[in-house]
């Protein structure tokens, strides 16, 4: 039996480190930073960690809004989605996540495209 992505990523603590790093990168990324100004980054990090853990097979429960509702009216562009994913890739690599798991996460993030773009 293969282990879940959650287990292969190192569990909640390691996923939290990835999410923290990625959101810190978003906050200074010239393309994404305007969307994060004035936002409660600690709350976004908490919800992002819950979402990532639950979505990768962990026992956590996500307490935020669904992606479509959370992104409605934001008119997120393909470029912004790509920048977001690039920041996650950099965070995963900085946390020492192996290439197969990085690629799997990228696939999952791209699969959510329809839930966040221009809605």
- The pLDDT tens digits for 8-40 are 999 999 999 999 999 999 999 999 999 999 999
Are the beta carbons of 101 and 5 closer than 8 angstroms?
A: yes
For residue 104 the two structure tokens come to 């799997």
Please tell me the distance from the alpha carbon of residue 11 to that of residue 30, in angstroms, as a whole number.
30
Side-chain half-sphere exposure of 52, counting CA atoms within 13 A: 28
Domain that holds residue 9: 5-116
Give strand pairing partners of 117. Answer: 76
Instruction: Give the pLDDT band of residue 2 (cuts 50, 70, 90).
Output: confident
- Say how many domains are in the chain: 1
CATH number at 44 reads: 1.10.490.10
Q: Is the pTM for the entire model greater than 0.75? A: yes
pLDDT for residue 1: 59
Please tell me the distance from the alpha carbon of residue 87 to that of residue 103, in angstroms, as a whole number.
13
Neighbours of 101 (CB within 10 A): 15
């Amino acid at each position: 039996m293969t282990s879940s992505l959650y287990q292969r990523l190192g569990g909640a603590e390691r996923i939290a480190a990835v999410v923290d790093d990625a959101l810190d990168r978003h906050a200074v990324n010239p393309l994404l930073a305007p969307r994060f100004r004035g936002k409660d980054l600690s709350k976004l990090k908490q919800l992002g960690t819950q979402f990532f853990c639950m979505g990768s097979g962990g026992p956590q429960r996500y307490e935020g809004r669904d992606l479509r509702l959370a992104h409605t009216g934001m008119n997120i562009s393909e470029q912004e989605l790509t920048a977001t994913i690039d920041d996650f890739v950099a965070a995963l690599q900085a946390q020492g996540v192996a290439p197969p798991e990085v690629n799997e996460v990228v696939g999952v993030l791209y699969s959510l495209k329809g839930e966040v773009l221009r809605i």
